């Protein structure tokens, strides 16, 4: 073999080694960079889902293990206030039309509302058990809450009254709303299925068996392409469904313990925050989807929040090994 050929092979090996050492599986379509870490002083235990108030530039973090809602001023990059005395808060939503914060509590099953401007308690609705994921409806006139052993509760806005339930038969995890078709897709891991709800009728119209894996928890939806992204734990995979046909079209291995998935509509990238300590970035390729980059975060950092317009993604990292709990802020370019 000629010297030039040897040199070419050496260059290829060095390039591959460099990529593996930096956790990059392929050339990403967008760069991602850690720009700061915002500490949550004294916050212990698991961190759950997050929400943002864009008007005040405030980030809310449901500190499940700390029984608190931590409130971060994103301009200053620090915690400014906290709502304490919660009971295992799991999700939080900012409701812009009412200027309210809704917090679901897994411990006592309550959904608690606070005035965003003052953090004054406004109302508590008792769902009795395991109030979990929250979603705003199409016209922001309804708030949906996954709860108990198998239902989606419906709260009317602005009256803050419980106006109905959609029964599922097992505890619902992440769910997404297709505003164009008026459908809701719900992960029901206890039944190993995805329930499809007609939101006008307020009932389940179809159930898709989820056979590729167990423990289908996080979910994201691409309304334009009618693709549903489902994360599972056993094994750790991201399964893509055709949302019209109800059939899986792609499957890719991801890092373990994923609890949030977000689609960036502009780039087409899918972000999976995984408690194994990675933020997996998935892109569509000719043969399906593949992980193009695996970014180090922290052990137990399983929840995240994507703010597409600001090109930001926040990842919640719990306290570990002598380090304070913190929120990792990444910039996507």
- Whether 327 is covered by a domain: the verdict is yes
How confident is the model at residue 108, as a pLDDT?
98
| Per-residue pLDDT at 165 exceeds 90 | yes
**CA-CA distance, 44 to 36, in Å (whole number)?**
20
In a domain, residue 20? The reply is no
Per-residue pLDDT of 214-267, as tens digits, reads 999 999 999 999 999 999 999 999 999 999 999 999 999 999 999 999 999 999
- Asked if residue 211 is part of any domain, the answer here is yes
Cβ neighbors of 177 (< 8 A, separation 6 or more) are 135, 137, 138, 144, 183, 184, 199, 221
Residue range of the domain that includes 38 = 25-332
Comparing CA positions, the residue from 206, 90, 101 lying closest to residue 148 is 90
Peptide bond between residue 252 and the one before it cis (omega within 30 degrees of 0): no
Burial of 2 (0-12, 13-18, 19+ CB in 10 A): exposed
Q: What is the model's pLDDT at position 125?
A: 98
Residue at 16 is within a domain: no
| Domain-embedded: residue 195 | yes
Domain membership flag for residue 200: yes
Instruction: Give the pLDDT mean for 282-303.
Output: 94
Identify whether 63 is part of a domain.
Answer: yes
Query: What's 299's domain CATH number?
Result: 2.130.10.10
* pTM of the predicted structure, to 2 decimals: 0.90
Q: Of 21-35, 48-62, 127-141, which gets the smallest average pLDDT?
A: 21-35
Q: Is residue 17 classed exposed, middle or buried when 0-12, 13-18 and 19+ CB atoms within 10 A define those classes? A: exposed
Q: Name the domain count of the chain.
A: 1
Q: For residues 97-109, give the mean pLDDT.
A: 97
Does 10 map to a domain? no
High-pLDDT (> 90) share of the chain, %: 87
């Amino acid at each position: 073999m000629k010297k030039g050929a040897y040199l070419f092979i050496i260059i290829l090996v060095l390039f591959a080694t460099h990529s593996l050492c930096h956790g990059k599986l392929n050339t990403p379509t967008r760069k991602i960079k850690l720009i700061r870490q915002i500490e949550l002083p004294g916050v212990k235990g698991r961190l759950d889902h997050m929400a943002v108030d864009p008007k005040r530039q405030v980030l809310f973090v449901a500190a499940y293990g700390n029984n608190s809602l931590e409130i971060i001023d994103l301009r200053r990059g620090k915690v400014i206030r906290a709502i304490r005395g919660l009971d295992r808060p799991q999700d939080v939503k900012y409701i812009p039309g009412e200027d309210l914060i809704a917090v679901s509590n897994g411990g006592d099953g309550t959904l608690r509302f606070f005035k965003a401007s003052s953090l004054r308690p406004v109302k508590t609705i008792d769902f009795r058990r395991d109030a979990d994921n929250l979603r705003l409806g199409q016209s922001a006139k309804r708030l949906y809450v996954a709860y108990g052993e198998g239902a989606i509760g419906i709260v009317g806005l602005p009256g803050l009254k419980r106006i109905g339930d959609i029964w599922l038969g097992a505890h619902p995890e992440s769910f997404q709303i297709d505003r164009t078709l008026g459908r809701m897709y719900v992960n029901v891991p206890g039944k190993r299925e995805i329930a499809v709800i007609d939101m006008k009728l307020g009932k389940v119209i179809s159930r898709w068996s989820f056979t590729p894996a167990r423990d289908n928890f996080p979910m994201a939806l691409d309304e334009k392409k009618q693709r549903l992204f489902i994360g599972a734990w056993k094994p750790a995979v991201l399964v893509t469904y055709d949302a019209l046909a109800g059939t899986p079209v792609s499957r890719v291995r991801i890092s373990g313990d994923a609890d949030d998935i977000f689609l960036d509509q502009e780039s087409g990238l899918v972000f999976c925050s995984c408690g194994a300590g990675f933020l997996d970035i998935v892109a569509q390729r000719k043969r399906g989807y593949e992980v193009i980059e695996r970014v180090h975060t922290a052990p137990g950092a399983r929840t995240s929040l994507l703010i597409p317009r600001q090109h930001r993604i926040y990842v919640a990292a719990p306290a570990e090994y002598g380090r304070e709990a913190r929120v990792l802020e990444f910039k996507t370019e």
